[in-house]
Amino acid sequence: MNGGVLIEVKIISKVYGKKDNLFIALNDISLTIPDGATVAITGKSGSGKSTLMHIMSGIDHPNEGEVIVNGKDLHSLKKKEMDRFRAEEMSFIFQAFFIEANQSCYQNVALPLEIAEIPSRRRRTMVEKALGRVDLSEKIDSKAGDLSGGQKQRLAIARAIVNKPQIIFADEPTGNLDSATGDKIIDLLFELNKKLGCTLCIVTHDDELAERCKIRIQVKDGEVVSMTGRSVSKPKTKTTTRKKAGAKS
Ligand code: ADP
């Protein structure tokens, strides 16, 4: 580990479209995230929050720049290495839970363990532990589609923590939930940060949730406009300004 730094984003840019339809979604962003931190990425809709998170997690590729996670240059990895690295180190919670409704809770939570090629005899114990942490032990053999909205999100969290990831990325994790259920989910994520030491990286519109995070990164028009907590470095180069899709140069 590099002085406690878990994620290092180095001058990344992301551009969509071509020529007259060029749209700069991220413009020369650099920042570091320490291991074990709680991080909120905030900003208006369309500001680039999800794009930034997708690039930090390897879901999407930048046009320029590097993302170093745990000392590894993420975007230089081959697809298979990347899949394996992500299955071992990271997990994801999305607004739409992306659970397999027709499969059992056990099957849903065991999925990342299959990808990480954990021997099947160890899977059951790990799945039971993860379901226990989110209070869903008794639902292990139930069909995921039969759970309530809050239970589905807890199931998604169980799947996210089953491999004890170093980083949990969450994109509007409470967006589809009523506020009481949402609060419980958030409490659970912070508890996991404390107990398991998982770094939390959360895209959110919710000010209260952002306030609870030690680091708050505010994105506007594809740039980081403020970062409270630790630690953002100023872009070393600034070559472009953001254009709306379709704007003439
Ligand atoms: P946020 O998460 O802050 O709402 P996004 O990161 O999803 O914003 O998107 C940032 C900008 O990039 C938006 O204007 C969006 O329309 C644009 N964008 C995102 N994905 C694509 C894509 N695949 N093609 C073209 N434009 C895109």
User: Do the beta carbons of residue 43 and residue 204 sit within 8 Å?
Assistant: no
Question: What percent of the chain is modeled with pLDDT above 90?
Answer: 58
CA distance 43 to 76: 29
With 50 as the cut, is the pLDDT of residue 228 above it? yes
Pocket of ligand 1 (CB under 6 A): 16-17, 23, 25, 43, 45-51
Tens digits of residue pLDDT in 12-47: 999 999 888 899 999 999 999 999 999 999 999 999
List, in sequence order, the alpha helices (H) in 197-234: 207-212
Tens digits of residue pLDDT in 165-186: 899 999 988 877 788 878 888 8
With 60 as the cut, is the pLDDT of residue 190 above it? yes
C-alpha to C-alpha distances, 8 to 35, 43, 55, nearest whole angstrom: 11, 20, 11
Tens digits of residue pLDDT in 85-116: 888 889 888 877 788 999 999 999 999 898 88
Q: How far is the CA of 131 from the centre of ligand 1 (A)?
A: 34
Residue 84: its pLDDT value, please?
Answer: 84
Tokens of 6: 């878990």
Q: How far is the CA of 44 from the centre of ligand 1 (A)?
A: 11
191 in helix, strand or coil? Answer: helix
Q: How far is the CA of 47 from the centre of ligand 1 (A)?
A: 7
- Nearest Cα residue to atom 14 of ligand 1: 46
- The mean-pLDDT minimum among 16-30, 39-53, 150-164, 230-244 falls in 230-244
Question: What percent of the chain is modeled with pLDDT above 70?
Answer: 91
Tokens of 195: 């107990």
Confidence of residue 133 (pLDDT cuts 50, 70, 90): confident
Give the mutation target among 47, 206, 242 for probing the ligand 1 site: most ligand atoms within 8 A of CB.
Answer: 47
Residues in the chain: 249
Q: What are phi and psi of 168, to 5 degrees?
A: -110, 120
Residue 245: its pLDDT value, please?
Answer: 46
CA distance 95 to 169: 11
With 80 as the cut, is the pLDDT of residue 10 above it? yes
pLDDT mean across residues, the chain: 87
Residue 18: its pLDDT value, please?
Answer: 87
Query: Of 161, 162, 134, 160, whose CA–CA distance to 148 is shortest?
Result: 134
What is the mean pLDDT of the segment spanning 228-234? 57
Residue 217: its pLDDT value, please?
Answer: 96
Q: How far is the CA of 15 from the centre of ligand 1 (A)?
A: 10
With 50 as the cut, is the pLDDT of residue 232 above it? no
With 50 as the cut, is the pLDDT of residue 128 above it? yes
- Nearest Cα residue to atom 17 of ligand 1: 25
Give the mutation target among 18, 19, 23 for probing the ligand 1 site: most ligand atoms within 8 A of CB.
Answer: 23
